[in-house]
Amino acid sequence: MRKLVLSILARDGAGVLTRISGLFARRGYSILSISSGVAEQKGLSRLTVVAQGEPQILEQIGKQVKKLEDILEVDILEPEKSVLRELVMIKIKADHSKRQDVSSISDIFRAKVVDVAKDSMVLEATGDSVKIDGFIELLKEFEIMEIVRTGLSAIKRGCEYQN
């Protein structure tokens, strides 16, 4: 199985995300992550969709997404020609005696401590999925109370773009 990263430019409107995810569901495609936000032009949204499947099925995904109503552009993002990032927030059970150890691990991954309570800490990190997975793995020696991951956001490198 391979992964496919799509960057989709769509008109804002009710049901756009539902139509995209519905296409994947009807075809039995596996969505690993989906993120969406406002684009560079008013009235447009940019979505990053990460799908997994057999190569011939992945090839069809881009073609079928392009046919959907309100879709203006679909780009397949190749990892070596793109910047791929993810955000994670992790709540760790950590009293005063463990905070320095947690902070040391956070420093290695350039993570930030964004909240400290009496018995817990919330950490924030960004990076590629491998970095995020490694950060979580090292934090398993502490009690992880909660993890929130945004899913992948991605953009092509360089000045190449379409109007």
Instruction: Give all domains of the chain, ordered by start, each with its CATH number.
Output: 2-76 (3.30.70.260), 83-153 (3.30.70.1150)
pLDDT at position 161, please? 54
Residue type, 7: S
pLDDT at position 163, please? 47
DSSP states of 53-116 as a string? E-HHHHHHHHHHHHTSTTEEEEEEPPGGGEEEEEEEEEEEE--TTTHHHHHHHHHHTT-EEEEE
CB 6 within 8 A of CB 46: no
pLDDT at position 69, please? 87
pLDDT at position 148, please? 97
pLDDT at position 137, please? 96
CB atoms under 10 Å from CB of 50, counted, come to 21
pLDDT at position 44, please? 95
- CA distances to 42, 86, 139 from 46, rounded to whole Å, are 11, 15, 32
Instruction: Give the span between the Cα atoms of 143 and 121, in whole angstroms.
Output: 11
pLDDT at position 15, please? 86
Question: What is the number of residues in the chain?
Answer: 163
Q: Which long-range contacts (CB under 8 A, 24 or more apart) does 27-31 make?
A: 27/57, 27/60, 27/61, 27/64, 29/53, 29/57, 29/61
Average confidence (pLDDT) per 10 residues, the chain, 163 residues: 90 88 83 91 94 81 89 92 95 93 95 96 95 96 95 87 51
- CA distances to 13, 97, 130 from 25, rounded to whole Å, are 20, 47, 27
DSSP states of 113-131 as a string? EEEE-SSEEEEEEEE-HHH
Instruction: Give the span between the Cα atoms of 56 and 45, in whole angstroms.
Output: 28
